[in-house]
Amino acid sequence: MICFLTALLLGFVGANIILGQGAFLVQLEQSWAAHFESAQVFEYGSPEDFPFEWSVLLKNWDTTLPALTGIILCFRSMPKKIWAVIPFSWLALTLIVFGTHKPWWSYYYVHNAVPLCWCGAVGLAALCETVLHDRRRVRRCLFGLFMLSALCWMGARVYLQISSIRKSPQIFSSLVLGEIAKFKPFTKFIYTDDPVFSFHTGIPLPPGLGVMSLKRFWSGDMTNARLAEELRTVKPGILLLGNTNQELPDLVDELLGFGEFTLVTGKAFAIHQDRNSSSASTSIAKEFRVIENTHYLIESVEFKSIEKDLKKLPGFCHVLVCEQSGGYILPLHIFCFGSGRASGGDELSSLQLASPPVATA
């Protein structure tokens, strides 16, 4: 135990030294605080929406069935063999804890898998020994049928997983990474909802936004306002946000009424354009939302209609616009915010995020 704790401590210290500037400790603090805080904000759902998936035991029936036999044998052997209590108690503990703990993420299953496989090994060994000494053909046939089915099931799963991995997007063919590489010499930080892009590009995430999990939002440690403020302070050179495959309208235009006053669709013009010309105007869509008990009137315009004008603005943030690049879709209505001024004299100082973070931890 002392050796394990010493190795764990040295690993933490080594990781902090390698990453430098205390970045590892900052990310550890962000994760630690969110894990032990109760849910206070439910804008992005709640932990109750992510219960333990008991169906995972059925999906792994090739391990679950032998494990049931192993559990019975361990339970019967406990008075004579003290060690038999370990796999049985371990599995029971993990099922109780993760069966009631919320949220539950799929990779938590590894905590259940270790004792489940241990119990399965005990049960499978006992069944093999029993069948070898049993001359009844029915039992041997049933056991052989189970083993053949289990081997076919495991082989098929391995084959499908390998095929899925081989068909997944490759780094060398990713158009997004190629676009980012052009701006890397001029970029200090990148903000993305998928941290793996920070790893592959070699551009660090802002320290305060290193861990963007739902738990941070649920606990109130991170809010939309704080996220926007962090981005304004850090000024990341690249914003890369992926489409979550949700079918959302590009623009939401609501007909808003306040008493006798009705707010209809408006028009936007540059200072040098003729306001009487319909071809020079851009429609402004409106949406009235309540975020964290605060009322917001959100006005949006279609990106393509102002793309040329935006590219003329001086600023510090590069805009990556791709319909679909290497399987990673970038929404067209995500803009960077800059320190320059538009031709009409209006300062660009706002940031609109189209989707919540989806990282899990």
Residue 290 has what pLDDT? 74
Q: Buried b / exposed e across 323-349, counting CB within 10 Å, b at 16+? A: eebbebbbbbebbbbbeeebeeeeebe
Question: Are 24 and 161 contained in the same domain?
Answer: yes
Low-confidence ranges of the chain (pLDDT < 50): 316, 319-361
Question: Are 148 and 289 contained in the same domain?
Answer: no
Question: Are 279 and 143 contained in the same domain?
Answer: no
- 3-class SS of residue 213: strand
pLDDT in tens, 250-277: 556 666 666 666 666 677 776 666 666 6
Is residue 257 in a domain? Answer: yes
Is residue 5 in a domain? Answer: no
Question: Are 18 and 158 contained in the same domain?
Answer: yes
pLDDT in tens, 42-90: 777 888 889 999 999 999 999 999 999 988 888 887 777 778 888 888 9
Which of 311, 334, 352 is the last residue before a domain boundary? 311
Is residue 63 in a domain? Answer: yes
Question: Are 20 and 144 contained in the same domain?
Answer: yes
Is residue 349 in a domain? Answer: no
Question: Are 115 and 151 contained in the same domain?
Answer: yes
Question: Are 147 and 238 contained in the same domain?
Answer: no
pLDDT in tens, 316-341: 455 444 444 333 333 333 333 333 33
Which of 167, 199, 225 is the last residue before a domain boundary? 167
Is residue 76 in a domain? Answer: yes
Question: Are 188 and 93 contained in the same domain?
Answer: no
Residue 361 has what pLDDT? 45
Domain count, the chain: 2
Residue 249 has what pLDDT? 54
Question: Are 20 and 71 contained in the same domain?
Answer: yes
User: Within a 10 A sphere around the Cβ of 55, how many other Cβ atoms?
Assistant: 8
Question: Are 178 and 307 contained in the same domain?
Answer: yes
Residue 331 has what pLDDT? 35
Cis peptide before 115 (omega within 30 of 0): no
Question: d(Cα 313, Cα 341) in Å, to the nearest integer?
Answer: 7
Which of 311, 338, 354 is the last residue before a domain boundary? 311
Question: Are 161 and 241 contained in the same domain?
Answer: no
Which has the closest alpha carbon to 178: 151, 157, 162, 201?
201
Is residue 52 in a domain? Answer: yes
Domain extent, residue 85, equals 12-167
Question: Are 155 and 187 contained in the same domain?
Answer: no
- Taking the whole predicted model, whether its pTM rises above 0.85 is answered as no
